[in-house]
Structure 1
Amino acid sequence: MNIALLANPTAGKGRRAALLPAVRERLGAGGDSVTLVSGSSAAEVKEQARRAVAEKRCDALVAMGGDGTVHLGLQAVAGTGVPFGIVPAGTGNDFAVRLGVPPSPVAAAGSVADALRDGRVRAIDLARLEGGDGTSVWFGAVLAAGFDAFVNERANRMRWPKGPQRYNRAIVEELLALRPRRYTMKLDGTETVFESVLVAIGNTESYGGGFRIAPGADPTDGLLDVVVAEPLGRLTLMRLRPKVLKGTHVRDRRVSTHRARVVELDGAGITAYADGERICPLPVTITCVPGALRLAQ
């Protein structure tokens, strides 16, 4: 078997880079060939992975890294039937955690190798996003189009400070600028117009390193979980955020939850983020595609 390994050595702030040889060895322990997929940019890595799958140069693709690396891998394998393995080596690893992937990179590599050897794969739903600007991508975890997306957008524009402090500064500045945004949303064709400070659409339940924004989201039920918070003040929003870690925020009367196969979302001046990656401005149409991913686990 030929295994393509898409690895991000900077994932998890580079702490897991030294494990790459061990992961590669474990994947090939049964005599399989393991080829490293690399490039000078995320776009180049994504293209290399896509070509490896499309040209049938690999029998399986394995992503070693965080949610961003997994996101790149999904673009190559979604809907192809090619088995996909995950070796979590990022900071949050939300998609991997919610799928029950072992947290140890070497143990996860072993699980993937055993599954490929035994022909053991799970059918997992993915979300397909089509943007009004022509963007077309897959995502596995959560799309954010509210406060958390605004924080990411602000942080990405900053040049100072570096590291986590930049994100913390972005949170403070976004809180000071907090205001409700007007959205138009269709759930399986039924339209509503509302104002909100937080909108999230989940295939799985968490983002941001364990924030269970869509608790109970099941990536095998053929549906997307939608969470909407009505306009909230700064203090109320910050008091609600710790509850998201436990998923208890959905018990608040100001938070509503919905399920749908197709979600259409629009709002002026709002950029969507999915799997932690900047995607495109709204409007977007998101469709749950049952069994789009064949997970080797």
Structure 2
Amino acid sequence: MLAVTAADHPSAAGGPVAVLANPTAGRGRHLGLLPQVLERLAAAGRPVRMLEARSAVEAQAACHEAVAEGASGLVAVGGDGTVHLALQAVAGTSVPFGAVPAGTGNDFAVDTGFPADPLAAANVIAAAVRDGRSHPVDLARVTAADGTRRWYGAVLAAGFDAIVNERANRMRWPRGPRRYDLAILVELARLRPRRYTLRLDGETHEVDAVLVAVGNCPTYGGGMRICPAADPTDGLLDVVVGGRFDRRTLMRVKPRIYQGTHVEHPLVRSYRARTVEVAAEGITTYADGERAVDLPVTITVVPGAVRLLR
């Protein structure tokens, strides 16, 4: 993979390393490590600036401000949600990015080569900052029907998993993981294939499906290999479609997603494309586990859209 040096991105000239940390990521289990993470990042010889934010909106604004002010790097300490916020600011810019996995799901960080251990990841990032080294990887750019654009790094879900997430987010009871479990039960009872129109590099496919995922990376949901062959350096998106599953078949196949063997099921189809258009009625998509936009959407891979500090 191509390595980019400090001479290739002027932001590496000497600005601070900006750090976005989510203290609630992973239910706070890595919160005590944050001082050590910051200490290790400081070993790169650059000032380390913690970004202050009390909400996702403030966090994203703080990241954009740090990039605009010439940060030498942006580091997200948290899970996929924190990474997703930070990517909105660095995508398509010369500011390199580092991910310290500290969440419940760390799919983008692990899939793009950062160590799963937060302190080890901080060491890798610090070494890359010190050496002025970064590696470009692809991102996916989502465009909604109203022109809204958003980036994601790992996977966009537009099927059963997205529907479950939307159900869980609307529920006020119970709290914690049980809310998601209850949402699964509710949506399983309502399960039905939906008609999707997919356009893959201009070729139209009409499908009845239960699962639809568009991956830049292989995994989502904390290690589920929904798009097992996806490679964030190949300039392509992987599209995995699970067809007319009934409840019993879906529950039998779903555990196989952790190993990526679900793609061998006769009702599953896999495709690759640079541009993917997805349309269906009544579905809100989730990208990197975060609520994104309603279908229809156009998803385009942007090669080398972000430079990783590793």
TM-score by length of 1: 0.98
CA distance in 2, matches of 1:31, 1:232: 55
Matched, 1:177 2:174: no
Equivalence for 1:38: 52
Unaligned runs of 5+ in 1: none
| Counterpart pick for 2:66 among 39, 42, 52 | 52
- Aligned-pair distance for 1:265? 0.7
CA pair 30-97 structure 1, distance change in 2 beyond 3 A: closer
Equivalence for 1:199: 212
Asked if the contact 2:44–2:129 (Cα under 8 Å) also holds between the matched residues in 1, the reply is no
- What amino acid maps onto 1:14 in structure 2? G
Unaligned runs of 5+ in 2: 1-13
| Counterpart pick for 1:89 among 74, 99, 102 | 102
CA distance in 2, matches of 1:145, 1:278: 11
Q: Secondary structure, in 3 states, of the residue corresponding to 2:23?
A: coil
Matched, 1:256 2:256: no
Asked if the contact 2:42–2:126 (Cα under 8 Å) also holds between the matched residues in 1, the reply is yes
What CA deviation, in whole Å up to 9, does each residue of 1:256-283 have, x standing for no partner? 0000000011111011100000001101
What CA deviation, in whole Å up to 9, does each residue of 1:12-55 have, x standing for no partner? 10111111111111101243100001211101110110111023
Asked if the contact 1:128–1:139 (Cα under 8 Å) also holds between the matched residues in 2, the reply is yes
TM-score by length of 2: 0.94
CA distance in 1, matches of 2:250, 2:185: 12
Asked if the contact 1:217–1:225 (Cα under 8 Å) also holds between the matched residues in 2, the reply is yes
Residues 63-212 of structure 1: matches in 2 within 5 Å? 63-212=76-225
- Aligned-pair distance for 1:75? 0.3
What CA deviation, in whole Å up to 9, does each residue of 1:157-206 have, x standing for no partner? 11111100000000111100001111111000111111111100000001
Q: Secondary structure, in 3 states, of the residue corresponding to 2:84?
A: helix
Equivalence for 1:270: 283
Q: Secondary structure, in 3 states, of the residue corresponding to 1:68?
A: helix
How many residues align? The count is 296
Matched, 1:283 2:296: yes
- Aligned-pair distance for 1:118? 1.0
- Aligned-pair distance for 1:134? 2.9
Asked if the contact 2:240–2:268 (Cα under 8 Å) also holds between the matched residues in 1, the reply is yes
Asked if the contact 1:5–1:63 (Cα under 8 Å) also holds between the matched residues in 2, the reply is yes
CA distance in 1, matches of 2:114, 2:47: 22
Aligned-CA RMSD value:
0.8
CA distance in 1, matches of 2:256, 2:117: 27
Equivalence for 2:235: 222
- Aligned-pair distance for 1:243? 0.6
Asked if the contact 1:133–1:280 (Cα under 8 Å) also holds between the matched residues in 2, the reply is no
Asked if the contact 1:203–1:224 (Cα under 8 Å) also holds between the matched residues in 2, the reply is yes
Q: Secondary structure, in 3 states, of the residue corresponding to 1:76?
A: helix
